[in-house]
Structure 1
Amino acid sequence: MQQAAMPRFGLGIAPILVTQLLKVVEWHWIFAIVSIPGLIVAYLLYRVLCDTDATKAAQHTSTHDASERWTEVFKYRNIPLNMVGMLCWLTCLVVLSALLPSYQIDSLKLSVEQMGFVLSAIGFGGTLGTLVMPGLPIVSAASRSC
């Protein structure tokens, strides 16, 4: 559920909310309005997280980190594969989030409200994928055992 929060709120709900708010509020006030939840979360994190003592952190690092070299993490096959995967995902996400609204409004001649609804489909699809994709190996393994 935590991993699905970014596509659900950032790409799913936000385009709809912001494009609807544009009807009643000037755009620069929308930045202030949508920053309120982030400020609340930042304050709650400030209240809950404790500052670790430097000596405890150093002791934890010396006893729990097996290696002196940070490059040894690349010995695990998943690390470079995930780095390439995230590079592709973030490149796609940033390009779509930044350029798709202009394309929809300028080339497809959609209204701002329509653009918000179409753009939010990326977020809701990403949320659905985040929730469904982890269960696919389990379903696949269960179907093979029958």
Structure 2
Amino acid sequence: MKRFSFNLEKLLQLREFEEKNAKTELAAAISAADRIRLDLRDTASERVRVNKNRNENIDIRGLMALENYVRRLDLRKEELLEQLAAAELCVEEKRTLFTAAMQKRSVLDKLKEKQFALWRKESMSAEEKAVEDAAYGATNTKENL
């Protein structure tokens, strides 16, 4: 019996490649969103630290400088929140693409499994038939002698 071969093997390999790329892109998008979250957390921590130091500074120039710094931190926080929203949208888009790529590959995997099961069944039947023919042939040969 001939070896099993899947006609759409090249297409399956392409789908696997596309799935791997989609997974990599999703991981990169998640990583970018996580970096933004870390920056946001660091900015919030810095604002808390500066607010604690406000009471220690009595000099008017120092207070004005701290107030300007706090405003800058607030602006940075707003920028990071906008970036985070965009990054989250990107993550969802990449997740959708990854899911679609997974489904496309999965369909071909299932088709390959079905074809393999059918091939195996036919192969077993052919093998059983060959054994039966051999056994029947040996029986006929003994009777003729």
Shorter chain as denominator, the TM-score bin is under 0.3
Greater RCO, CA 8 A, separation 6+: 1
* Largest Rg, 1 or 2: 2
TM-score under structure 2 normalisation?
A: 0.28
Higher helix share: 2
TM-score under structure 1 normalisation?
A: 0.28
